[in-house]
């Protein structure tokens, strides 16, 4: 297993996916919790594990969109894109998700629990040229 | 023990596919809830065309073979719950694909990572579960009603899509044809 945080994110996301269509509000809440756990999981992945970091970065971004937390996505996804080690595939997917968040963010966040997203962000910054 | 395939060629009859509802025991990337849901979807899709058990024909970068798969009769409630045919076909195909890669490659799901439209599974050999650096991404496609020609066409299209990707790493492409009782697999190395 990659780490316990990712395992917890998977469990929350799986539960949320099963609730889609029957209890949308609870599904969004679980997706938001899963996003927070995935971000913590990402923070524990060493910077030399580029592929793993890319996959978890996309997963975090997708979970924010599934939680319909577009405000948090607009705030957090640009930080993910500062990771110089992101593969083109991961970068493209995050850019697409950020664009979707920008298009959909017309009101207050539907999830009011994003304040704790920030502390565990550890991205490899682009080298200054 | 052998069986003849549709072309009249003898193919070996191997051990049955792993029990679909118990995959989570060996696949840490599956939760019990997701595993059981996928297995239920597979049962609903298979029961549209077959009676349990059925021998499925597997092809890929290995000798063609047949493996038996069994499932409980789906309840009316399960059939209603999986009334969305696209969702049932996709999730049922996940179940059979994970069982097939375990049986043929000894790979198990180590992670389920969300994407915009669903989730990707990553599979790796036992003992290589600490990160995703060398894991295969499992690219799954399901077809409810199909013949061999359409199944092969779908497989080629998925291989092309993956090969033309932009650095997402090595992948296993699996196409499940429920009516045909087929599982077609291919390995795709992403060299970018």
- Quick: pLDDT tens for B76-122: 999 999 999 999 999 999 999 999 999 999 999 999 888 887 788 99
A30: chain B residues, CB-CB within 8 Å:
none
For CA atoms B165, B167, B170, B172, give the dihedral sign: negative
- Quick: pLDDT tens for A81-117: 999 889 888 999 999 999 999 999 876 555 545 445 5
pLDDT for the residue numbered B1: 61
Nearest to B114 among A45, A49, A62 (CB): A62
Indicate the burial class of A92 (C-beta count within 10 angstroms; 0-12, 13-18, 19 or more). middle
A55: chain B residues, CB-CB within 8 Å:
111, 113, 120, 122, 132
Q: Report CA-CA distances (Å) from A98 to A75, A77, B120, B136.
A: 9, 6, 19, 26
| Peptide bond connecting B53 to the previous residue in cis, omega within 30 degrees of 0 | yes
Q: Quick one: average pLDDT of B7-16?
A: 81
pLDDT for the residue numbered A111: 56
B124: chain A residues, CB-CB within 8 Å:
none
| H/E element, B159 | helix B148-163
pLDDT at B168 over 80: no
- Quick: pLDDT tens for A40-56: 999 999 999 999 999 99
Q: Which of A55, A58, A42 has its CA nearest to residue A117?
A: A42
Q: Measured between alpha carbons, how far is B55 from A98 in angstroms, rounded to an integer?
A: 45
ipTM over the 0.85 cut-off: no
**Nearest-5° Cα angle at B146, B99 to B101:** 15
Phi, psi of B54 (to 5 degrees): -135, 150
B54 band by pLDDT with thresholds 50, 70 and 90: very high
Strands (E), chain B: 2-4, 10-12, 54-60, 62-69, 107-114, 119-125, 136-143, 171-177, 182-188
| B41 has a chain A CB within 8 A of its CB | no
């Amino acid at each position: 297993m990659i780490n316990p945080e990712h395992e917890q994110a998977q469990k929350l996301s799986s539960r949320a996916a099963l609730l889609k269509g029957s209890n949308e509000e609870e599904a969004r809440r679980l997706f938001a919790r899963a996003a927070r756990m995935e971000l913590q999981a990402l923070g524990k992945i060493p910077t030399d594990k580029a592929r793993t970091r890319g996959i978890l970065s996309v997963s975090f971004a997708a979970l924010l969109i599934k939680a319909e937390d577009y405000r948090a996505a607009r705030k957090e996804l640009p930080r993910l894109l500062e990771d110089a080690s992101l593969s083109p595939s991961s970068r493209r997917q995050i850019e697409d998700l950020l664009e979707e968040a920008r298009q959909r963010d017309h009101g207050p966040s539907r999830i009011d629990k994003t304040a704790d997203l920030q502390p565990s962000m550890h991205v490899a910054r682009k080298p200054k040229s | 023990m052998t069986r003849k395939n549709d072309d009249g060629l003898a193919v070996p009859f191997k051990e049955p596919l792993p029990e679909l509802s118990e995959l989570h025991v060996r696949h840490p990337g599956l939760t019990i809830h997701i595993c059981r849901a996928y297995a239920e979807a597979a049962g609903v899709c298979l029961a549209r065309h077959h009676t349990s058990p059925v021998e499925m024909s597997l092809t890929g970068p290995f000798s063609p073979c047949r493996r038996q798969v069994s499932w409980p009769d789906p309840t009316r409630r399960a059939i209603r719950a999986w009334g969305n045919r696209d969702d049932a076909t996709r999730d049922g195909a996940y179940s059979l694909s994970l069982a097939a890669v375990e049986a043929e490659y000894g790979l198990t799901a180590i992670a389920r990572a969300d994407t915009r439209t669903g989730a990707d599974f990553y599979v790796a050999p036992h003992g290589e579960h600490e990160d995703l650096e060398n894991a295969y991404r499992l690219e799954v496609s399901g077809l409810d009603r199909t013949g061999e020609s359409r199944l092969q066409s779908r497989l080629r299209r998925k291989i092309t899509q993956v090969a033309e990707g932009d650095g997402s790493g090595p992948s296993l492409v699996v196409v499940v044809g429920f009516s045909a009782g087929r599982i077609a697999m291919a390995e795709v190395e992403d060299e970018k």
